[in-house]
Structure 1
């Protein structure tokens, strides 16, 4: 069950529901899935809007050389999104332990968490801390009491607990990681695209507009949002919805 398979399933679902032209929106894995839909189903996808740029690779040569000469590659307003590179590398090392675990041994931890509600809660809530605001990882309560309603967090945990699907959610990483080097992932996306860049998004997942255009060549909209992080749809639903509506209007008038 890869992201490519999910993209085909979603496309078939929309067709069976009678929707042959539609817009797609996604964050995190959803941005990767919807981007694949844009590649595989361009005749059906009227527009693609994402709030995590999962489909665009990082030009590492620019990162390295730009550490000394940043203005060669990006406008000054975007420098903070890439440099200092050592800070982004530190965040990458600190915040991707779960990714490596889920991409290599998902069933080991997956079945353990399916058997422990406290373990499941701890595992999930840690992500709601650092991926909402990276500085919260140093707080005693992880910033959860400051930035979230407890019922919203518990609702999210209960979706995994009541359905017993944490192991399968983790396995999605193992299914997909070997495919990251597929030719399809190197393809450019030609459908009208829009990006909502939230400042609290984990630093190594953010991409400046210049880099986004390498992949999404028909980028009609790139907006820097005033607040919000990785879980934008839950954190700032109004901001995300407004940006999506603006994107749809832009597609219709382009």
Structure 2
């Protein structure tokens, strides 16, 4: 197996951009179905406006150049080509930190966070490593079934060792909240702390008898949220990802509608999506999926699962979270050594690094400062 680390640069050929624009020009729009707001899915008027912006105003080349400001590399691990960003702090003593993105996101999730973690003017800094999960973006898709968060974690541990890091932290949200604790389990002598956005200690029906009335009321409210009751992507991607991938790979409108649906449902900020996440940042993520053809290949965490379960965590290294609620700390402490459980961090979108990068970066520093 080669251990070579190769420089990488994003360079989408112009023919791909031209093809996208031609497809956007030839959209066959459906009628708006009866119903208020989002009751039938993404409203036609909203998507028309967004698709028009993508076609006529969004500038991929500008954002491609912005992403290429981050040093990027490829290396082969476990038979997979793994794409990653590696941004070193000016402080040689900075703690290495590996960030794991979620679904349906990509390394773009951290585009606004990286400078805030590496710039010494912001306080404690980190050497930041941002790999693309296999099947997402520029990382090769898994060649078979049976992949798990643990297998990804082993790749991450090998990557950090290959970069020369003996002591490092891990962070993750969404799917990353499953991977980040697993890195500590597979590399217990190297991981100093695990930081996740949320998800630990989330109650289930079987926990109800142990919950206070206030906790039960909060649980009932949780179960009413859009991100719990929206389109069941877990079931959809577990059952027939190939079927839906035809539409997502062939039609930019289908791809845009799907991404808009999920980012809307994942929006717990109380603000419209375009206010929670910069429109260009959102479209950069959509464009990355489109150009790399990874709508289907990124579904493997779902079709390789048997059902949904909240992340459990680990006890190998100390754990911190960005937001404890709606998790319950005593439930999280069944499987984690919790040392950081804030309840007052600013709420926001499920992908908080895109919505609240300043607060998120500050809280990451707060957690890892406790481990010095």
Q: Deviations over 1:128-170 (max 9, x none)?
A: 212122767xxxxxx2333332211111101100111110111
Higher relative contact order (Cα pairs below 8 Å, separated by 6+ residues)? 1
Q: How do 1:84-163 and structure 2 match up within 5 A?
A: 85-91=219-225, 94-95=229-230, 97-133=232-268, 143-163=272-292
1:30 corresponds to which residue?
176
1:3 corresponds to which residue?
149
1:139 corresponds to which residue?
none
CA shift for structure 1 position 118: 0.8
1:14 corresponds to which residue?
160
Flag the structure with higher helix content: 1
Q: Are residue 192 (structure 1) and residue 306 (structure 2) matched?
A: no
Q: How do 1:42-121 and structure 2 match up within 5 A?
A: 42-53=188-199, 56=201, 58-64=203-209, 66=211, 70=212, 79=215, 82-83=216-217, 85-91=219-225, 94-95=229-230, 97-121=232-256
2:306 corresponds to which residue?
178
User: Is the 8 Å Cα contact of residues 322 and 363 (structure 2) preserved in structure 1?
Assistant: yes
SS at match of 1:133: coil
Flag the structure with higher strand content: 2
Q: Are residue 215 (structure 1) and residue 335 (structure 2) matched?
A: yes
User: Is the 8 Å Cα contact of residues 324 and 341 (structure 2) preserved in structure 1?
Assistant: no
Q: 1:87 to 1:96 in 2, by over 3 A?
A: farther
Distance in 1 of aligned mates of 2:278 and 2:246: 28
User: Is the 8 Å Cα contact of residues 11 and 37 (structure 1) preserved in structure 2?
Assistant: yes
SS at match of 1:39: helix
1:203 corresponds to which residue?
none
- Note the aligned Cα RMSD (angstroms): 2.6
SS at match of 1:126: helix
CA shift for structure 1 position 36: 1.0
CA shift for structure 1 position 178: 2.9
TM-score normalised by structure 1 residue count: 0.78
Distance in 2 of aligned mates of 1:94 and 1:227: 19
CA shift for structure 1 position 246: 0.8
Q: 1:49 to 1:84 in 2, by over 3 A?
A: closer
CA shift for structure 1 position 227: 2.5
Q: Deviations over 1:8-27 (max 9, x none)?
A: 00001111111121001110
Distance in 2 of aligned mates of 1:104 and 1:26: 26
Q: Are residue 228 (structure 1) and residue 228 (structure 2) matched?
A: no
SS at match of 2:327: coil
Q: Are residue 249 (structure 1) and residue 369 (structure 2) matched?
A: yes
TM-score normalised by structure 2 residue count: 0.55
Q: Deviations over 1:81-140 (max 9, x none)?
A: x5254443344762251121012211111232011111111111112212122767xxxx
User: Is the 8 Å Cα contact of residues 173 and 198 (structure 2) preserved in structure 1?
Assistant: yes
SS at match of 1:20: coil
CA shift for structure 1 position 6: 0.6
Higher alpha-carbon Rg: 2
SS at match of 1:13: helix
